[in-house]
Amino acid sequence: MYLRQIVTTLVLALLSFACAPNAKLAKLDPKSAEYKYEAALIALEDGMYPEAVKGFSDVKSKHPYTAFARLADLRISDVYFEQGKHDESIGSYRRFLKYNPGHPEVPYAMFRIGEAYYERLPQDWWFLPPSAEKDQQRVHQAIDAFRGLISRFPQNDIAKKASERVAICRTRLAQHEMYVADFYFKRDRFKASAKRAEGILQNYPGLGLDAQALWITGQSRFEIGEFEVASLALDRLIKEFPAFEEAEAASQTLQKIANQKPVKAEPEAP
């Protein structure tokens, strides 16, 4: 008896949950823009994308001067996004922004443009080159999109999420720069490796790559005879990152620099 009551309660709960979206529709006029919009929204949430696009398009064509027509434009963009058609979604979101510059959903549309770029960032797969090796254009595009949102709507709740995305993207760019710096360093192209490593220290500090960047900078500058710059980088490495795996090697390089005999300057010609 007790088990039957539990089963009955669960069934009723499931039925009420399944019917909840339709309960709202039941209160609306089936010919109204709101009804058609809500029905298309349910189709979108259920992953019925062709039906959703058809429903939103119907709202736009038959109720073009209503608020639901503008929302339908935005939801069609969402359909493209959910389908993984990111180029189409970006274009659709941008059209929404162009024709609805003062709409309350502008921050959302701007964020989704950034998300569309973010979703296409290079990924790591065991059978493909590492993501840091690949072109980072989409990372820059995502950063630009998210920063545009943060600049326009710094107090909006969605700006915090955009800031988190920017931090992730900046780390990706720093990792790419480190990949290139290490690539040059291992091939004895020390001027190029030093330049890349110094760029990391200047543009991407505090992202976990400072120690490696200081090591490549110091050792590269040492190899090309720029001992003063090398000493500054290696000394900083030892002081700030004493547990770094190359800290001992950095000390040895500093000792070599200290042992260098100063070269006398040749007298200038009269």
Model pLDDT for residues 78-125, shown as the tens digit of each residue:
999 999 999 999 999 999 999 999 999 999 999 999 999 999 876 543
Q: Is the pLDDT of residue 269 over 60?
A: no
Q: pLDDT at position 120, please?
A: 85
- Give the C-alpha distances (Å, rounded to integers) separating 33 from 26, 104, 266: 14, 19, 89
Q: Is the pLDDT of residue 55 over 60?
A: yes
- Tell me the percentage of the chain whose pLDDT exceeds 70: 81
* Averaged pLDDT, 230-258: 94
Look at 69-73, 94-98, 248-252, 263-267 and tell me which has the smallest mean pLDDT. 263-267
CA torsion, ordered 236, 242, 246, 252, to nearest 10 deg? 70
Distance CA(84)–CA(106), nearest Å, equals: 21
DSSP 63: S
Distance CA(197)–CA(179), nearest Å, equals: 10
Residue 3 CB burial class (10 angstroms; 0-12, 13-18, ≥19): exposed
Q: pLDDT at position 18, please?
A: 41
Look at 8-22, 117-131, 193-207, 212-226 and tell me which has the smallest mean pLDDT. 8-22
Nearest Cα residue to 80 out of 43, 111, 53: 53
DSSP H helices, 102-209, are: 106-118, 137-152, 157-186, 190-203
Look at 111-115, 134-138, 182-186, 225-229 and tell me which has the smallest mean pLDDT. 134-138
pLDDT bucket at 17, cuts 50 / 70 / 90: very low
Distance CA(68)–CA(38), nearest Å, equals: 9
* Averaged pLDDT, 134-158: 90
Look at 31-40, 134-143, 206-215 and tell me which has the smallest mean pLDDT. 134-143
pLDDT bucket at 11, cuts 50 / 70 / 90: very low
Q: pLDDT at position 29, please?
A: 74
Nearest Cα residue to 166 out of 202, 118, 128: 118
* Averaged pLDDT, 20-42: 79
Residue with tokens 């443009």: 113
Q: Is the pLDDT of residue 258 over 50?
A: yes
pLDDT bucket at 22, cuts 50 / 70 / 90: low
Q: What pTM, to 2 d.p., does this model score? A: 0.75
Q: pLDDT at position 259, please?
A: 86
Look at 13-27, 65-79, 157-171, 215-229 and tell me which has the smallest mean pLDDT. 13-27
Q: Is the pLDDT of residue 14 over 50?
A: no
SS (H, E, C) 185-232: HHCCCHHHHHHHHHHHHHHCCCCCCHHHHHHHHHHHHHHCCCHHHHHH
Distance CA(79)–CA(44), nearest Å, equals: 7
**First-to-final CA distance of the chain:** 115
Domain boundaries, the chain: 188-257
Tell me phi and psi for residue 128, to 5 degrees. -125, 160
